[in-house]
Amino acid sequence: MNTIHQFASITKNLSGTTASLNDLAFLYKESAPRTALDEAHIDLLITQANGMIQAAEALKAIAFDPTPAPPVEDVELP
């Protein structure tokens, strides 16, 4: 099975997220302090990241067990 496209897409998206987090770190250090809304958004990011970690870990536990195809019923043709 070719899964490289999914992993490449995930890696690309995470790279963009990392860049955004670095931008926010710079803004908080150099431009303005965090607000209460910023803190709430950071907490949400942490929750979402933890959910992604759990989903990624769960991938390791998935056993290959394909669903059988439904039986083909005999159909009488006219």
* 8 A C-beta contact, residue 11 and residue 19: no
* Domain ranges, residue 52: 16-56
- Tell whether the model's pLDDT for residue 78 goes beyond 90: no
Contact 28, 34 (CB under 8 A): yes
pLDDT higher than threshold 80 for residue 1: no
Would residue 78 count as lying in a domain?
A: no
67 occurs within a structural domain: no
pTM: 0.76
What are the pLDDT digits (tens) for 41-66? 999 999 999 999 999 999 999 999 99
pLDDT of residue 72: 83
CB atoms within 10 A of CB 5: 8
What are 14-37's pLDDT values in tens digits?
A: 999 999 999 999 999 999 999 999
CA distance 25 to 53: 22
pLDDT band at residue 5 using 50, 70 and 90 as cut-offs: very high
Residue 44 tokens read as 């949400």
| Residue-level pLDDT at 71 | 86
How many domains is the chain partitioned into structurally?
1
